[in-house]
Amino acid sequence: MDSGVYGLLGQRFGRGMDRPFLRVPGEAAVTYGEMDARSAQAAGWLAGQGVSVGDRVVAQIPKSVDAVALYLGVLRLGAVYVPLNTAYTSAEVDWFVGDAEPAVVVLDESAMTAGLDAARPLRSVVERQPDHLAALVYTSGTTGRPKGAMLTHGNLACNALTLNEAWAFQPDDVLLHALPIFHVHGLMVALHTAMLSVCEVLFLERFDAAEVLARLPEATVMMGVPTHYSRLMRLEGFAAAACGRIRLLISGSAPMTASLHRDVAGRTGCEVLERYGMSEALMITSNPYDGARVAGTVGFALPGIGVRVCAADGRPVVGQVGMVQVQGPNVGPGYWRRPDATAESRTDDGWFITGDVGRLDAGGRLTLEGRAGDMIISGGLNVYPVEIEQALDAHPAVAESAVVGLRHPDLGEAAAAFVVAEPGTAADVDELPAALADTLGDLARFKHPKRYVFVESLPRNTMGKVLKAELRVRHGRLFLD
């Protein structure tokens, strides 16, 4: 793999340069050849800005054809792509820029597009080895400080090849793509897998259930998060007729409930294929393409990947609940400039500790049972309570707070804040949520609690630690009733 992941993709799509790649509804499809040329312009533009091999390029830009060209241009130049959620506030972006120390930060899409138009294309693909860095994908940390998960060319290439085969991609597939492209799911899993078979990608700007339903009859494969499927289920037209060409519906990034899995199958005749992954290790397990897709499970370790579940004493166990650990060419080398966090995430024998709790059956099928920490997965996005609690606690009317994830009919799980008002501040409970939302102004809106509950005190154990599990049980139906 001398020319890295771009070399691999190019080798495959080089056979079909005239074939359509990205098709935005209402626009002419961009062919593979056109994307190859555009990414060469992106590489030329970046080189003109002083970007060279190994430099980071941070991008916070809307989903577009040129955003894909920028990503591919970074890969072919041998630089390191750092995508940021478009919902991040400028305070959050400043933090990421400070941490990643990029050569270039792309925030203005139209200036970028003009830059690409004017750039001299750089057609060569820089030589890269499997252990060279290709991307940093930020995931928030348990201490509230985000960590950049490093992904190499080798990680991306091997995972793409594995998924392309496991999910039986063929040149006549049409992938319906309504995911954001600032995370591994929409950017790498979806695009690389399709590119390896030179497939067409129906490229929707965002997930709008009605629009997705309208486009579904043209597609053969869709990848989404459970919220996408639960939103589709609310539309009557989401039924077998709309899925006439569909051969595969894939779900990931958050657990799909067994009932949603059954409901989708009942309505469309398609058994959703649920898979499991994370930014640090790309895709880890998948339900089988041929074989039983069991609702509520995430299937088997993908070829070449080791998955084990370990008890508290570190012993691998079968049939019992324990910590899920992973090993393989999919696992990234660690967190950017955080050797402490990298070391903490590895066992002594080098397995990556996912932070997920699960159970393997004797046949190797994995069922996830929850997470070791407090992390909330809301609509496929990770939300870290400590970051929100720290901001809430800084408000003068707040004595203390605890943020937990509770079941939510749309988002799967959503953040709820339990707040103890500061005595004597005479906080007006009706006005407090608005005031607190203001306090959270530096944090992206998707992280903000969807509900504030004012309580006299927080439940604690004898050591004084807040019992979040008790809050989750006691208020488990907050968003459901």
Residues forming contacts to ligand MLC in the complex (CB under 6 A) are 87, 179-180, 183-186, 206-207, 225, 227, 252-253, 277-279, 378-381, 411, 445-446
Task: Give me the amino acid identity at 113.
Answer: T
Task: Please say which residue, 136 or 184, places its beta carbon nearer to ligand MLC.
Answer: 184
Q: Nearest approach, Cβ of 256 to ligand MLC (angstroms)?
A: 12
Smallest gap from residue 224 Cβ to ligand MLC (A): 8
Structure tokens at 193: 């897998």
Q: Which is nearer to ligand MLC, 74 or 383 (CB)?
A: 383
Between residues 376 and 397, which has the closer beta carbon with respect to ligand MLC? 376
* Secondary structure (3-state) at 200: strand
Q: Which is nearer to ligand MLC, 283 or 309 (CB)?
A: 283
Min. distance of Cβ 184 from ligand MLC in angstroms?
A: 5
**Cβ 331 to ligand MLC, closest distance in Å?**
14
Give the nearest residue (CB) to ligand MLC: 379
Contact (CB, 8 A) for 222 and 252: no
Closest approach, Cβ 125 to ligand MLC, in A, equals 26
Minimum CB distance to ligand MLC smaller for 41 or for 164? 164
**Nearer of residues 45 and 336 to ligand MLC, judged by Cβ:** 336
Q: State the nearest-atom distance from the C-beta of 154 to ligand MLC, in Å.
A: 18
Q: Where are the alpha helices (DSSP H) in 101-224?
A: 109-118, 153-166, 184, 191-196, 209-215
Q: Which is nearer to ligand MLC, 19 or 407 (CB)?
A: 407
Burial per residue of 104-128, b for 16 or more beta-carbon CB atoms within 10 angstroms, e otherwise: bbbeebeebbebbeebebbeebbeb
How would you classify the pairing of strands 221-224 and 412-421? Answer: unpaired
Q: Are 325 and 285 in contact (CB under 8 A)?
A: no
**Do residues 170 and 210 make contact, with C-beta atoms less than 8 angstroms apart?**
no
Pick between residue 76 and residue 231 the one whose CB is nearest to ligand MLC: 231
Distance of closest approach, residue 463 Cβ to ligand MLC, in angstroms: 32
Burial 153-182 (b: 16+ CB within 10 A, else e): bbbbbbbbbbbbebbebeeebbbbbbbbbb
Complex with ligand MLC: residue 253 or 401, whichever CB lies closer: 253
Which amino acid would we find at residue 196?
L
147 Cβ partners below 8 Å, 6+ apart?
138, 139, 140, 141, 335, 336, 338, 341
Minimum distance, C-beta of residue 330 to ligand MLC, in the bound complex (Å): 11
Based on CB atoms, which residue is closest to ligand MLC, 49 or 257?
A: 257
Nearer to ligand MLC, 78 or 379 (CB): 379
Q: Please report, for the chain, how many H helices and E strands are present, in that order.
A: 15, 24
CA contacts within 13 A on the Cβ side of 273 = 20
**d(Cα 309, Cα 360) in Å, to the nearest integer?**
7
Hey, what's the torsion of the CAs at 32, 33, 35, 39, to 10 degrees? 130
Tokens read off for 281? 């290790």
CA distance 22 to 6: 17
CA distance 307 to 276: 11
Q: In angstroms, what is the minimal distance from the CB of 138 to ligand MLC?
A: 11
* Rounded-to-integer distance, Cα 49 and Cα 43, Å: 10
CB of 115 to ligand MLC, least distance (A): 27
Owner of token pair 């790309």:
282
Q: How far is the CB of 47 from ligand MLC (least distance, A)?
A: 29
- Using CB atoms within 10 Å of the CB of residue 51, give its burial: 0 to 12 exposed, 13 to 18 middle, 19+ buried: buried
Rg (CA), the chain: 23
Q: Which is nearer to ligand MLC, 51 or 295 (CB)?
A: 295
User: Smallest distance, Å, CB 136 to ligand MLC?
Assistant: 14
How many residues are present in the chain? Answer: 481
* CB closer to ligand MLC, 112 vs 151: 151
Provide, rounded to whole angstroms, the least separation between the CB of residue 29 and ligand MLC.
Answer: 23
